[in-house]
Amino acid sequence: MQRNSLSGRLILADVARGLALLAMAIYHFSWDLSWFDVVTWDVTGAPEWRLFAQLIAGSFLFLVGFSLVLAHRNGVRWESFWRREIKVGLAALAVSAVTYFIFSDQWVKFGILHAIVISSLLALPFLRLHYVFALLCGVGVLALYQWLGDYVLPYRQFFWLGLNSLPEISVDYVPLIPWFGPVLLGVGCGDFFVRHDLLRVLRGSALPNVFLRFFAWFGRHSLATYLLHQPLLFGMVWGAVHLGMFGDVRVREFQQSCVMACRQSIDEEVCARACACTSAEMMKRGVWEELHATPDDADVRRIVQQLFQVCLPK
């Protein structure tokens, strides 16, 4: 079937990227709050948060594949392709460098930007094939990940495949298996839209509303938004914490650790009240600063325990 050319922006595709960025900002802001102990949400470990993060990453990578088709459906425009690859590649290196200094052993070795660079290269041959092949291969990559299960490669050098002898500890880890799968699904869906003359659906109305224009703008500047939003959010939370806008960090940390130890045998709500009472009594009796000055002092810890027992409902 002859592929029709299409002029102008496909605003709904831009809006989809903008909405994915919004979801990512929500996740990162929640992660920042958790990192600074402002909230007790287990953003990195709770199943619902992990699913949310996976859906965000999957949507971004799906849109990478879809956008490849939109940009190169009439043949690969090599100059613009390599310009984009270099730009995203440099951004990926910058993310690795910055996170190395901030998070040390949890730095980003192969995050979503790294995955986008490599996946974009690997997806190029699929642009010349029928969408059915791309869709089947995308499903195949996802199925391969499920089928391999606990199988691992013995070589750490292949960590970017996601088949490690040891799991990668990183604030952002997006290996090609399984994440190349959504890219291929995006390529397949994009080719389906092109072959069946459905791209006009993505144009939206001739006069898009403010909501669409807002998210479309961020979608058109997705790389800049991705790079800037987390430093800004992280900095805002850091500043708010150190300005005391979330209360005393030490008090919050004490109460959280107190509740975690207490709830092993007592109802969590009771523990929360008792721990809040304990920290207040410590401050009233001058024990609070002593605890932080000499946290291993047995006499101070015994006083804290006695205060906790007094605060605990009988």
Query: pLDDT digit string (tens) for 105-140?
Result: 888 889 999 999 999 999 999 999 999 999 999 999
What band does 7 get if pLDDT is binned at 50, 70 and 90? very low
What is the pTM (predicted TM-score) of this model?
Answer: 0.77
Neighbours of 60 (CB within 10 A): 26
Q: How far is 303 from 209, CA to CA, in rounded Å?
A: 63
pLDDT given for residue 205 in this prediction: 57
Residue linked to tokens 């659906």: 201
Q: Indicate if the pLDDT at residue 28 is higher than 90.
A: yes
Average pLDDT in the 234-258 region? 79
Q: How far is 191 from 1, CA to CA, in rounded Å?
A: 11
What are the tens digits of pLDDT across the range 175-189?
898 999 999 999 999
- For all residues of the chain together, what is the average pLDDT? 84
Neighbours of 288 (CB within 10 A): 19
Give residue 56's identity as a one-letter amino acid code: I
pLDDT given for residue 314 in this prediction: 59
pLDDT given for residue 55 in this prediction: 94
Between 56 and 153, the higher pLDDT residue:
56
Supply the DSSP symbol for 105.
G
Residues 6+ apart with CB under 8 A from 310: 281
Q: How far is 222 from 20, CA to CA, in rounded Å?
A: 9
pLDDT given for residue 6 in this prediction: 38
